[in-house]
Chains A and B, each alone.
Chain A
């Protein structure tokens, strides 16, 4: 079940919301929280039904280890603490490793040793990369004594809360648990409701009106890169770059909006990343909760202050290698991580040496880097991404064409892809010049026209949630 679907919007959400309000109205606060936990597990089961029991076991395991860690921390039992953390981390990493990287490892072993170990039919459980990171952060926080001691219900709600369960934002226990126990939390908060409705509508529109059609177009090319022409490669690559942002940030907006319906403020995830003029800034604006996690738990475990610039750049590279690997099991993701690391190091180098490019040049180079790394990211393999780059910069389609023929060719292409091109232009204008929802949220003052405008976006999005059938005529 995704947020932008009729079953979620018209059935799941109203029932969950009304149930939550009802229990709170009768002051059954813990029941209300449990209601949310059950609703969240139901939500999870809609996506990964076969995995829901393993997920629950995973939650309980981390709950136990975390509780033991907090006890050990209190008792100052250093070795107990270390062993517990080691066990907890190892379990989480192995768990993720099995589901996400087992087949990748086997493929590589087979490739390098010439063996033919069979691959397993492993379906990747929904959201496993996200909640595993939340568990790791939680255990490390427990170890570091930063975690809060919580009730079991609060812990369960923290990990299962459906708005953030599947694709983030990656939430720290300390972000939300204090909110669960706020005195005002069970009360109906109209400002939160209003902002929630605005954010959910905007998120819905971002995903349904912009991201989905753009992705739909781009996927067609990336499924068969060998047969696409140069213009298709360009349009698809840009479409994918923009649709990725609108898809993820739209989803994050919906998640944050949904959180607000339950008076939970989830952390922001995107802050106009395509306005960035270098990669350091880009990663401060893109998938911010992931960046925060990587910075807190990877970068800081490698980087030691005052140990010189090499140590710094090394830590950056390690962080992005992990990031690449986390994003997907495949060498193109590793390369993607390395490239991002190099770009970030370069911008740090320039920053440290006070080197500055004119704004527009810096921005163009950065955006080109974003598109290039996105191509790598969405390709099935390194080979395929090379194919895309080759096609993009090949002059083959324009061979033996004079200027008027080239223009004619481009105009024909534009006429045949008018819808995608129009969407792409709108998406680019919004992402280059529009205000981010993070800004909007931080300085939000409700106005009635916001409700009306949000409703228009929401209403049109609703109309585009039905599937569209293809033409059936015979090819005469």
Chain B
């Protein structure tokens, strides 16, 4: 046995090991560097490292695309399909989104795409967090590094690195195949054909009830930590180079800045952002959705602190392309140019006056019809005696009854509220309110708000002949009550207080009909509410500040419509006590109310209203 020959055998064995390893890594290809020709599981590779895997994918399939969105993870909410529609002319977009992207990544990617794929259009999406980093060391990590083709590193060491990769990455991918067979969502966080995140799970979430949404997603909205503006000038210079490079190659170039949540905005120095905006506007006009806007304070537009929802992305594109089918909240979206940048930046980078820590516990009680002998007794109808007894109990308990305008004044800092406040409300506008409630309230000196339905005012018969119907008060009676100073009249729709379960495509209250475009939805709801508001103003003469949701049903969007239309308060029927925060107009939306149930004694009702 010769030692030298032994050593050669050993070295030969090492060579075999290297071949086995390379072969395995080539076949498993957990990062898609080699095009994943065997498993063709591109979503897995993109989950592993979108920067590298997307290049591996596009090198094979780039002839299917002629336009690209380049940006960080936020840009995933800009839909390539929508861009295709808006750009028209055969545009076919691909999203190059890369998590934690910075301008270095964007620029290298843009150059590679322009050089190699010869695109027609580029949309650059800026997230804002790029302000804090530019070409960091952490990007040598397997999960964040760029493809060597993109950042111009030598290719041989790059491919060798992936051939001699720790095979554990490949084992995990093979194991992932089994997981994927059980649950097809495993490693499907990217949609390889469009490059965006697959958000079907998050988009199916119920977002309408803000309180519940924040309970479910509390940890998603954790503060992000400070982001210093270390890369400000580098980013602007890079942006300039990108724009010039695209234009030199006859590629259309558009910059969009993504929506930001209030929570995220706390991470930045506002003065730096204003400076950033001025400098960016010197380089290019841009479609601007960042900063404190009408949506930034509402977490329901966001998945978490950093990422705005697909639905908001659709609104942004609707704004950019002026799509009448798309509802865009007022005060969201702006074309920022060299001329208006200073003023606009000043507006969006000035935090709204901080909400005061001061708040008031606000119970609201709701009644409907009062009747000793109804067609069909239910939990929404009380007898005349029960109503009287309730009011006496409330009076004796020392509640100070308020109008909703008092709450608004409190939030606006114009007025303090008395101790032990209470709001009494009536829905629908029944004649019984005038006949029974009004005298009692007047006698006891209690204030109440009645939300009336427009079409039924003054009617004693249902518009559908023969249908059970309780009479409703007339405009004159409404005016009489209002003039007494004890009653306020507010909006409960003109004619959207319907739900027809037999007709599935009919509207339920003010909710969206399936497949209805947001723009049409907004139009319908606001037209109806506007009609009613006009009627009240004409006939009663008071100011409309409150919208009461039919059946208490509301959506995230409807909340936004009413906010846009100038409503300050919306009332739901969710049971509970509200907390009204001085300086926080949001605390007046979707207010909870406690139903004065006929089976709950007056004593118990008062107890409920007093409960913490």
Q: Which residues in A have some Cβ–Cβ distance to B below 8 Å? A: 190-191, 193-194, 197, 213, 411-412, 414-419, 446, 448-449, 451-460, 462-474, 476
Contacts and interface: CB of A to CB of B under 8 A. Distances in A.
Interface string B143-186: 11000000000000000000011111101101100110110000
B266 to A, nearest CB: 20
- Dominant secondary structure of chain B at its interface with chain A: helix
Q: Name the residue in B7, B10, B304 with the highest tally of chain A Cβ atoms < 10 Å from its Cβ.
A: B10
A412 B178 CA distance: 9
A99 B409 CA distance: 69
A194 B303 contact: no
A459 B197 CA distance: 38
B361 to A, nearest CB: 35
Given A416-B178, A449-B9, A476-B197, A466 B14 contact: no
B21 interface: yes
Nearest to A420: B175
B10 A455 contact: yes
B13 A451 contact: yes
Contacts of A455: 9-14, 16-17
Interface string B94-116: 00000110000000000000000
Contacts of B197: 473-474, 476
21 contacts: A213-B168, A418-B174, A418-B175, A419-B172, A449-B9, A451-B7, A452-B9, A452-B10, A455-B12, A456-B17, A458-B17, A460-B21, A464-B166, A464-B167, A465-B166, A469-B141, A472-B100, A474-B99, A474-B189, A476-B76, A476-B198
The 6 A-B pairs of least Cβ separation, nearest first, read A459-B17, A455-B13, A452-B13, A451-B9, A415-B178, A190-B3
Contacts of B611: none
Nearest to A197: B10
Contacts of A462: 17
Given A190-B1, A472-B99, A459 B143 contact: no
Interface in B44-80: 47-48, 73, 76
Contact of A469 (B10, B47, B143, B190): B143
Contacts of A474: 73, 99, 189, 197, 303-304, 307
Given A418-B178, A456-B17, A468 B10 contact: no
A227 B502 CA distance: 47
A197 B11 CA distance: 12
Contact of B3 (A193, A466, A472): A193
Nearest to A414: B178
A452 B16 contact: yes
Contact of B18 (A459, A464, A467, A473): A459
B99 A446 contact: no
B178 A473 contact: no
Contact of A419 (B99, B142, B171): B171
B9 A448 contact: yes
A197 B9 CA distance: 12
A421 B198 CA distance: 30
Given A213-B168, A473-B99, A419 B175 contact: yes
B463 interface: no
Contacts of B467: none
A467 B1 CA distance: 38
Given A452-B9, A463-B21, A476 B199 contact: yes
B414 interface: no
A462 B5 CA distance: 23
B202 interface: yes
Nearest to B100: A472
Nearest to B190: A473
Given A459-B21, A476-B202, 16 more contacts: A412-B182, A414-B178, A416-B182, A419-B174, A451-B6, A451-B13, A452-B13, A455-B17, A456-B13, A460-B21, A460-B167, A463-B164, A465-B166, A468-B168, A469-B141, A469-B142
Interface residues of B, number: 50
B330 interface: no
A213 B167 CA distance: 12
Interface string B78-99: 0000000000000000000001
Nearest to B303: A476
A150 B164 CA distance: 49
Contacts of B198: 476
Interface in B423-453: none
A403 B100 CA distance: 47
B59 to A, nearest CB: 22
A449 B9 CA distance: 7
A356 B197 CA distance: 64
A267 to B, nearest CB: 25
Contacts of B164: 463
B10 A454 contact: yes
B10 A463 contact: no
Interface string B1-32: 10101110111111011101100000000000
Nearest to B198: A476
Nearest to A415: B178
A467 B166 CA distance: 8
Contact of B47 (A194, A454, A471): A471
Given A412-B182, A474-B304, A460 B174 contact: no
B166 A466 contact: yes
Q: Name the residue in A213, A411, A453, A476 with the highest tally of chain B Cβ atoms < 10 Å from its Cβ.
A: A476
A458 B14 contact: yes
A454 to B, nearest CB: 7
A126 to B, nearest CB: 27
A236 to B, nearest CB: 17
Contacts of B6: 190, 194, 446, 448, 451
Nearest to A462: B17
A194 B3 contact: yes
A448 B7 CA distance: 9
B612 to A, nearest CB: 33
A70 B18 CA distance: 55
A472 B182 CA distance: 22
Contacts of B165: 463
Nearest to A464: B166
A313 to B, nearest CB: 48
Contacts of A415: 178-179, 181-182
Contacts of A458: 13-14, 17
Nearest to B172: A419
Contacts of B5: 448
A448 B9 CA distance: 6
A415 B178 CA distance: 5
A190 B561 CA distance: 86
A476 B189 contact: yes
Contact of B166 (A417, A418, A463): A463
Contacts of B18: 459
Nearest to A461: B17
A451 B166 CA distance: 23
Interface string B323-339: 00000000000000000
Contacts of A412: 182
Nearest to A460: B17
Contacts of B166: 463-468
A301 to B, nearest CB: 47
Contacts of B47: 471, 473
Contacts of A449: 9
Nearest to A445: B1
A467 B304 CA distance: 30
Nearest to A457: B17
A358 B1 CA distance: 45
Interface in B201-216: 201-202
Contacts of A191: 1
Nearest to B48: A471
